[in-house]
A = this chain, B = another copy of it.
């Protein structure tokens, strides 16, 4: 793998929040100059912030810093997600770190794609990509998550009929299915899903260990999961039993 050292920096940073350049240099056995170049790179991708003497993750629950967590898996999931999309397609993408990365991958790899999203974060995240058109669904702006919720989402989403709606999730269990942290956002997911032929859940495999608080209730939709290699056979069986297709990145 190419940028192995950057991945190591990220996972150290996920643990420690904040590390000195000198310590990184000693830990990884390369010169400080090299570490600084890596950090510049990561900062350019908005994954970390550099301060005098340190590197640190962006503010706590910023999506940017959540990207640092399991970054490699997310990258692979995003690439696989992009393969589902053809030039000229329109795709719904919901809020979340995996979704953001998928949106960026699609926007940079495809031509003339329209990305419809309720996430102001994602719109901003991909706005430098020249070959993508972005539509932002309007609504009440949730300040921390930078996403839009409320009845306007449904109204606007009904103007579209697309093949894929990509969403994130917070957890899963056999009984209640995929979950979320927030009732308003869950409703936005349902409203977007209603205008798509197929819902694709983008998530790392470790989210399958426990359910969150708000069920997404996607039972009426055709649902697929796109996750990494580490999904247990046990969970795979349960998903298949519920007619949920599994794609592995």
Contacts and interface: CB of A to CB of B under 8 A. Distances in A.
B136 A141 contact: yes
Interface stretch (A72-80, A82-90, A122-130): A122-130
Q: How many copies does the complex hold?
A: 2
A140 interface: yes
A20 interface: no
A141 B148 contact: no
Contacts of A124: 120, 124, 146
A159 interface: yes
Contacts of A120: 120, 123-124, 136
A136 B138 contact: yes
Given A133-B140, A138-B138, 6 more contacts: A123-B146, A135-B139, A135-B141, A136-B136, A138-B156, A156-B156
Interface of A: 120, 123-124, 127-128, 133-141, 143, 146, 148, 152, 155-156, 159
28 contacts: A120-B120, A123-B141, A124-B146, A127-B143, A127-B146, A128-B143, A133-B141, A134-B140, A134-B141, A135-B138, A135-B139, A135-B140, A135-B141, A135-B152, A136-B136, A136-B138, A136-B139, A136-B141, A136-B148, A137-B138, A138-B138, A138-B139, A138-B148, A138-B156, A152-B156, A152-B159, A155-B155, A156-B156
